[in-house]
């Protein structure tokens, strides 16, 4: 008595041919179209330059004022990231009185804000 199952049970020449055709048929490469995606042109380096220019002239402002006239959500996010870099650098002080309150930004000018930041963020796009 043989305990091993018959591995070729149910295999017919037609099924074998169909399996070979499936195995040898080239697979269709998936193509993802990005035509509907709008490219993002905001850069942290450019936002840093703009914030340094505005804040060094004004001395202080709210984040709402610093983003006035900007409608694109990504540009606002990039400007916020640039502001965090200025804070990390020691160039600005940030204060928010309450939850969801206006973010007060005060220029200290004591950090390395005027240093070349193109290495980290790429060149500022003009």
Question: How does pLDDT run across 44-64, given as a tens digit for each residue?
Answer: 999 999 999 999 999 999 999
pLDDT-derived band at 77 (thresholds 50, 70, 90) equals: very high
Its pTM stands at 0.61
Domain harbouring 51, CATH code: 1.10.10.580
| CA end-to-end span of the chain | 84
Token output for 117: 């930041």
pLDDT at 9 (0 to 100) = 85
Q: HSE (CB half, 13 Å, CA atoms) of 95?
A: 7
**Structural domain harbouring 69:** 44-121
**What's the confidence (pLDDT) of residue 110?**
78
Residue 98 lies in a domain: yes
36 has a pLDDT exceeding 60: yes
Residue 114 three-state SS: coil
Tally of domains within the chain: 1
In sequence order, the 6+-apart residues with CB closer than 8 A to the CB of 92 are 55, 83, 86, 105, 106, 107, 108, 111
């Amino acid at each position: 008595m043989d305990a091993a199952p018959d591995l070729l049970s149910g295999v017919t020449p037609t099924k074998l041919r169909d399996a070979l055709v499936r195995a040898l048929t080239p697979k269709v490469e998936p193509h993802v179209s990005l035509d509907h995606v709008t490219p993002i042109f905001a850069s942290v380096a450019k936002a840093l330059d703009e914030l340094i220019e505005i804040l060094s002239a004004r001395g202080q402002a709210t984040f709402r004022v610093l983003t006035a006239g900007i409608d694109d959500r990504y540009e606002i996010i990039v400007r916020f990231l640039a502001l965090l870099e200025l804070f990390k650098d020691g160039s600005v002080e940030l204060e928010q009185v309450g939850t969801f309150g206006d973010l007060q930004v005060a220029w200290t000018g004591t950090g390395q804000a005027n240093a070349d930041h193109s290495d980290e963020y790429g060149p500022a796009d003009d």
